[in-house]
């Protein structure tokens, strides 16, 4: 178990947004934070277009798995970040939880059109998540007196 503060990113299905955020935050602040994700109603898979969109920016999600938030109920969680409204509404308190944030993003799993049009939505949401979680990581790094990644 890590001594780093655990950040748990929640969405409903734990197939897209939470994995995009987990992968990105881990890539920029994994030296400071233990980053995990889960869902209130896990889909049971990580969306292939999420994996593909992140691979385009050098982040590998291929080993990620869809998990239920109950897996974390007995673990110390310092910060919970919800990335969809439904997860925000059902979010329980976790042991040791100090912070809670809600950063809502569109669900790219509901994108319509052909694969390229759907991928464009995944890229847009990925880039929005990167901007928000990049700023979050920079703030955490500053608060901890760390240096840039």
Give the whole-angstrom CA distance, residue 14 versus residue 44: 8
Out of 91, 125, 129, 137, the active site residue is: 91
Out of 20, 61, 83, 84, the active site residue is: 84
List the one residue out of 5, 10, 6 whose CA is nearest residue 87: 10
Out of 7, 8, 11, 111, the active site residue is: 11
Active-site annotation holds for 84? yes
Active-site annotation holds for 11? yes
Active-site annotation holds for 16? no
Q: Give me the residues paired with residue 68 across strands.
A: 39
Give the whole-angstrom CA distance, residue 8 versus residue 26: 11
Give the whole-angstrom CA distance, residue 55 versus residue 48: 10
Which residues belong to the active site?
11, 84, 91
């Amino acid at each position: 178990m890590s001594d780093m503060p655990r950040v748990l990113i929640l969405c409903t299905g734990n197939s897209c947004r939470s994995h995009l955020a987990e992968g990105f935050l881990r890539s920029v602040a994994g030296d400071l934070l233990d980053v995990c994700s889960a869902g209130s109603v896990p889909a049971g898979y990580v969306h292939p277009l999420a994996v593909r969109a992140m691979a385009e920016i050098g982040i590998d999600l291929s080993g990620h798995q869809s998990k239920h938030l109950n897996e974390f109920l007995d673990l110390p969680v310092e910060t919970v970040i919800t990335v969809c409204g439904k997860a925000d509404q059902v979010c329980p308190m976790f042991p040791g939880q100090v912070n809670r944030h809600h950063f809502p993003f569109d669900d790219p799993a509901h994108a319509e059109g052909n694969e390229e049009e759907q991928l464009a939505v995944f890229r847009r949401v990925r880039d929005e998540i990167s901007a928000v979680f990049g700023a979050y990581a920079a703030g955490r790094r500053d608060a901890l007196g760390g240096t840039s990644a």
